[in-house]
A and B are shown apart, each in its own frame.
Chain A
Amino acid sequence: DVKVTQSSRYLVKRTGEKVFLECVQDMDHENMFWYRQDPGLGLRLIYFSYDVKMKEKGDIPEGYSVSREKKERFSLILESASTNQTSMYLCASSKEKGLASYEQYFGPGTRLTVT
């Protein structure tokens, strides 16, 4: 079974703090993704990566950065947390076949609260 783990289920941070969300997958998948999920808005893609040290902006990259130094690990960084970044953050991975997507495997999510 593919396993995608996220470093924390719940996280509370203060405005202005730098926040790191870690995601690790154990199936040697090429692609990894970060989404945020808000009520009524569904999942919105923040960043994705299709290879080590590669990253692509999604729909809402502002205020976020990512790092992929190893194939199995994809980190989301909030440079200076703000209250409007309070959300559920979901990490996912998938194997690659050209540019067509395979099914994505999701982690359990991190519910981040910024106060």
Chain B
Amino acid sequence: SQQGEEDPQALSIQEGENATMNCSYKTSINNLQWYRQNSGRGLVHLILIRSNEREKHSGRLRVTLDTSKKSSSLLITASRAADTASYFCATDAGLGDMRFGAGTRLTVKP
């Protein structure tokens, strides 16, 4: 079954604005990962945050993790048209596999 659920399902912003996507999950995890998928292609790994971490940065990406609320957020700052894609969170419960959510479709208008 799906572990993560992203919110919102779709997000449309102007170039230069920040985009925030949220992910909620149900069971305890070892780590949580965010992936990007450009239209019709495979997923690309963006960032991994472990269960003992609260915040992580990578370039224009900022990820937070709140294990007490079983939630994570992905912030993309100063968005660009090239950031237009679907974004997925994936949770690892330590069973050797991961579970993905349904994704947030981000559109950045030039």
Residues on A close to B: CB < 8 A?
A: 4, 31, 33, 35, 40-45, 48, 50, 56, 58-59, 88, 90, 92, 96, 99-109, 111
Contact = CB atoms under 8 A, between A and B. Distances in A.
27 contacts: A31-B96, A35-B100, A40-B102, A41-B2, A41-B102, A42-B101, A42-B103, A43-B43, A43-B88, A44-B2, A44-B100, A45-B98, A56-B96, A58-B97, A99-B96, A100-B30, A100-B31, A101-B96, A102-B48, A103-B45, A103-B48, A104-B45, A104-B98, A105-B45, A106-B43, A106-B44, A107-B42
Interface string B10-45: 000000000000000000001101010000111111
Q: Is the interface of A mostly helix, strand, loop or mixed?
A: strand
B62 interface: no
Contacts, number: 73
Interface of B: 1-2, 30-31, 33, 35, 40-45, 48, 88, 90, 92, 94-103
